[in-house]
Structure 1
Amino acid sequence: MTESGTTADPATTTDGPRRRVSARVRILLWLLLVMAVALTSVATVTRSILLREADQRINRLLAQEAGEFTNFEERGTDPETGGPFTDPARLLRTFLVRQYADPDEELIGLVGGAGQDPTQIIQPRDLSGVLPLHEDAAARRRIFDSPAPSGVVHRPSGEIRWAKVAIARPGGEPDAAFVVAFHPGGELGRADEVFRILLAISAVALLLTTGIGWAVAGRILKPVRLVRVTAAELTERDLTRRIPVHGRDDIAALAETFNAMLDRLERAFAAQREFVDDAGHELRTPITIVRGHLELMGDDPAEREETVRLVTDELDRMSRIVEDLLLLAKTERPDFVTPEPVQLAELTADVYVKARTLGDRDWQLAEVADREAELDPQRITQAMVQLAQNAVQHTTPGQTIRVGSRTDGSRIELYVADSGPGVQPQDADVIFERFRRGTARRGTRGSGAGLGLSIVKAIAEGHGGRVRLHDTEGGGATFVLILEEARP
């Protein structure tokens, strides 16, 4: 809360309005983040695989060279004597002259200790910028003195991985050794080079993804922008704009939902305008009558009494018009109709009992449907009583009015049939509109405002049904509420 007691606007800060990040930018940033993590993971995993393969290849090479020397030591013969080798130096020299070193590999024979000059060297290939083992006396001493058959020497000038086969005279200490040394810098460097290449390719892929993602996000979000622009351009006087719907994806569903919302808004505003226009049109006449009588009212008690009666009648009519208009305004609300299980026989009998009080007519309960249905009993009763009142207005005392209900499969029909003059064909399509009366009046002129049948139609449509009008056999009009979606 601010000092003045008002709540601070969450969209602003002390430094000014908070900048909004568009959905397009957020989508692109998330896409780039996921792509960057994925590509970096791929490059890292690839590097790990290459390093592991390099380690395995180096270990196989060291084991192979050591195994070949061991086999030669056990089975080889001295070419001068034709028998087994007795001199370690000659054994090493004879074996090494027959070998060919792989890249980054050294084959060395050590005699008389690691500190002495090597007896024989197979010079490594592709070895640059690294101190060879045969020139590194300290490293040779460490390898020769190590009791292990293989290991790693860490040097500032480069790592060496080695395998050793010690040679000892019978019954004596080892005084010679065959050493296989491998300089893994080249192999590891190639793995790092592949890693760098993958990172470079990933960077290019991210740049391409940025451009493509920006374009694709813009295309996907175009309907959303149209929704925002359309919503910004909507006014109470112009609700006709709609969003084009293309395809069947979620964006198209969003556009369809927004268009449906606009349809509902347009109907709501139209109903509001119609309510205001109808109220102004229908209330203007009774207001004029009331004002005229009040202005002309004199001092005569009889005249004042007559004026009060007329004014009261007009005010009552105005009240009925307003109540009917308010009821029609509620028809667009979802709670206008509240269905519940209802016994049709009981509902029809209740309507018949209530209708009999409307006038001195020959009331008949024609037929009754004996089943249960889902409908709003209050609204249906209101519609049926309105139809009965309409029948009373267009018949004379003693004429027959029949009330009944029947079913046909899943369809329910509730009807009121009178024996009056009927409805002219040119009036059948207009009498259900607001403030519309038939051009040829049936019988005695009523005092209604022309809203009764509109209310009946609204109640029927609220139940998913309709109102049908047809002639009564023998003369008259029959109004039928057809509830197509009623369920037993």
Structure 2
Amino acid sequence: MTTSVKRADHRVSARVRILLWLLLVMAVALAAVAVATRSILLRDVDHRINQLLTQETGEFANFVEQGVDPATGRRFTDPDALLRIFLQRQYSDPDEELLGLVGTSGPGLRVIRQSRDIPATVALHRDRGSLDAIAASDASSGRIERARGEVRWAKVPIETPGGAGDSAFVVAFHADRERAVADEAFRALLAISGVALLMTTGIGWAVAGRILAPVRVVRATAAELTERDLTQRIPVQGRDDIAALAETFNAMLDRLEQAFAGQRQFVDDAGHELRTPITIVRGHLELMGEDPAEQRETVRLVTDELDRMSRIVEDLLLLAKAERPDFIRTEPVQLAELTADVYVKARALGERDWALDGVADREAVLDPQRITQAMVQLAQNAVQHTVPGQRIAIGSRTAEGRIELYVADRGPGVQEQDAEVIFERFRRGTARRGARTSGAGLGLSIVRAIAEGHRGGRVELRPTEGGWGSPRTESGGATFVLVLALEESP
């Protein structure tokens, strides 16, 4: 018990689990969006830098091919003049440096640049090591990782008539500020994602609580249920899965209530009906004397009461079994053969004018053993309320999509006020039950259970001839009919 309580105390509610999963999915999705956005922005930065480098180097290459030295009116032969005039005519971006390199790398390298201020912390023309690396490189472009930031560069060697061939035009782009824009957007997305997660937490908590409210009602209802009170039901609202759950739970409660009611009725009925024979047996045994004749009579009475108790218990067990799904086991049956078998078995119940009144010559799907049991019970009931020589007819027929198996007698009939109660347990009609009746009042209850066990089945009471409560003449009597739905065999 202690372990169960501890486990219940540490159990995480469905509301919390739903919220945690929602937050996890949202966090992963928002992080993926932020990372993807940053990657796209950085890719755009790289693409723009490459375009700028290509544009600048292309413009310089065209100037080399087509440019004219203002001093001579001819093509440039001096790299210094070529670089100075080109750089004077260019307007570079804030993060862009246009440089001219004249001479070989090392102390002899001379740098020509535009007359514009570039922060010393990022200026490439002050970084002699990086300039020497660019001048000595055979590649036309590349990148330099510095403590001051990354630099993307492109180089165009200068070849002029009469030139030494050791000069070059260099375009350098400081990418840190462009990348900082992408990083700033990334941080903004993270901040927005954090706010979205907070809002999702509040909204998700409220929505999960609203959705799971019927589940909490189910839990509270289940906690209030006891075997003495199964009347609690869950209100059904809407047409969603939660409403379907509530309907299913209510249906389960209906079945449980019916099962417990059947159990209580069985116990009550058994206690009520068995109390009398037990009292009789105990009384006779306590009063039994030494006389052998008295002892034999006592044993006979006790045995008779024990037999009656046994029949009551068997009938009650049969009625309890009627609630089980396997109570009826249907199969294709020839009605003519079934009716004839019932007629042959019923003739042994008493000296009556037995008649096979009619036979339905066709096949139907039903439980032959249960139907035989019900028909024999009806025949026994008719024998108990008729006298020797009176007519009892057994037959079967089909009409309007149904089967009717019936037992008709010419007895005293049934009073109208008794027609509604004779099929209940331990109830007997005032007119049909006489002093000769010794049953417990369960026979017709069993017949009704068998009839209703078949889909669409029922048992009906009809007068054989004349109205209710007809006198004890050949024109009176009662007819009990098993009405079953006509099911074709597969």
Identify the match of residue 76 of structure 1 among 67, 70, 78. 67
* Structure 2 match to 1:226: 217
Match of residue 413 from structure 2? 422
Q: Is the 8 A contact 1:403 1:415 kept in 2?
A: yes
Cα distance change of structure 1 residues 343 and 128 upon mapping to structure 2, 3 Å threshold: farther
Moved more, 295-304 or 469-478: 295-304
* Cα 1:485–1:57 shift into 2, 3 Å: farther
1:363–1:401 contact (8 Å) kept in structure 2: yes
Q: Where do residues 380-419 of structure 1 align in structure 2 (5 Å cutoff)? A: 380-408=371-399, 410-419=401-410
> 1:132 aligns to what?
123
1:104 aligns with 2:105: no
The answer to whether the Cα contact below 8 Å between 1:131 and 1:158 also exists between their aligned partners in 2 is yes
Rounded to whole Å, the distance in 2 between the matches of 1:67 and 1:168 is 15
In the TM superposition, 1:179-328 aligns within 5 A as: 179-328=170-319
The question of whether the paired residues in 2 share the 8 Å contact of 1:99 and 1:122 is answered with no
Aligned residue among 459, 465, 472 for 2:450: 459
Map of 1:418-457 to 2, 5 A cutoff? 418-441=409-432, 445-457=436-448
Q: 2:113 aligns with which of 117, 120, 133?
A: 120
Distance across 1 between alignment mates of 2:440 and 2:120? 107
The 1-side partners of 2:105 and 2:486 are apart by 103
Q: CA deviation at 1:341?
A: 2.7
Other-structure match for 1:5: none
CA contact (8 A) 2:426 2:442 kept: yes
In 1, the alpha carbon distance for the partners of 2:8 and 2:24 equals 27
**Partners of 1:319 and 1:119 in 2: how far apart?**
123
- Displacement, 1:114? 5.2
State the shift of 1:269 in Å.
1.3
Instruction: Classify the secondary structure of the residue corresponding to 1:118.
Output: strand
| CA displacement at 1:456 relative to structure 2 | 0.8
Distance 2:162 2:211 in 1: 84
Within the alignment, does 1:483 sit opposite 2:484 as a pair?
Answer: yes
Match of 1:361 among 338, 345, 352: 352
Query: Is the alpha carbon distance of 1:469 and 1:173 closer, same or farther for their aligned partners in structure 2, counting shifts above 3 Å?
Result: farther
Indicate conservation of the 8 Å contact 2:403/2:485, yes or no. yes
- The residue identity in structure 2 corresponding to 1:81 is T
Q: Is there any run of 5+ residues in structure 2 with no aligned partner, and where?
A: 466-474
User: Where do residues 312-351 of structure 1 align in structure 2 (5 Å cutoff)?
Assistant: 312-351=303-342
1:381-419 per-residue CA deviation (whole Å, 9 max, x = no partner) reads 111111111111112222222222222354222221222
SS at 1:363 equivalent: strand
After TM superposition, the structure 1 = structure 2 runs for residues 47-62 of structure 1, keeping only pairs within 5 Å, are: 47-62=38-53
Instruction: Give the aligned residue type for 1:480.
Output: V
Q: Could you give the per-residue CA deviations for residues 454-481 of structure 1, whole angstroms, max 9, x where no partner exists?
A: 1111111111211111111343211111
Distance in 2 (CA, whole Å) between partners of 1:249 and 1:456 is: 42
Q: Pick the aligned partner of 1:35 from 26, 29, 51.
A: 26
The Cα RMSD (Å) is 2.3
Report if aligned partners of 1:106, 1:122 keep a CA contact under 8 Å in 2.
no
The question of 1:370 aligning with 2:358 is answered: no
C-alpha distance in 2 between matches for 1:404 and 1:412: 11
Q: Secondary structure in 1 aligned to 2:154?
A: strand
Unaligned runs of 5+ in 1: 1-7
The answer as to whether partners of 2:364 and 2:486 remain within 8 angstroms in 1 is no
Secondary structure of 2:228's aligned partner: coil
Match of 1:88 in 2: 79
Q: For the Cα contact (< 8 Å) 1:106–1:123, is it kept in 2? A: no
Other structure's SS at 1:174 match: coil
Q: Does 1:153 align with 2:154?
A: no
8 Å contact from structure 1 (residues 420, 443) kept in 2: no
Q: Distance in 2 between matches of 1:324 and 1:50?
A: 85
Using the size of structure 2 for normalisation, the TM-score is 0.91
Residue deviations 1:119-142, cap 9 Å, x none? 232647xx6584211111111111
| Contact in 1 for aligned 2:96/2:172 (Cα 8 Å) | yes
The change in CA–CA distance for 1:371 and 1:136 in structure 2 (over 3 A counts) is same
Instruction: Please report the TM-score for the alignment, with normalisation by the length of structure 1.
Output: 0.92
Aligned residue pairs, count: 477
Q: Which moved more, 1:131-140 or 1:168-177?
A: 168-177
Structure 1 partner of 2:470: none
AA partner of residue 472 (structure 1): T
Deviation (angstroms), 1:448: 0.8
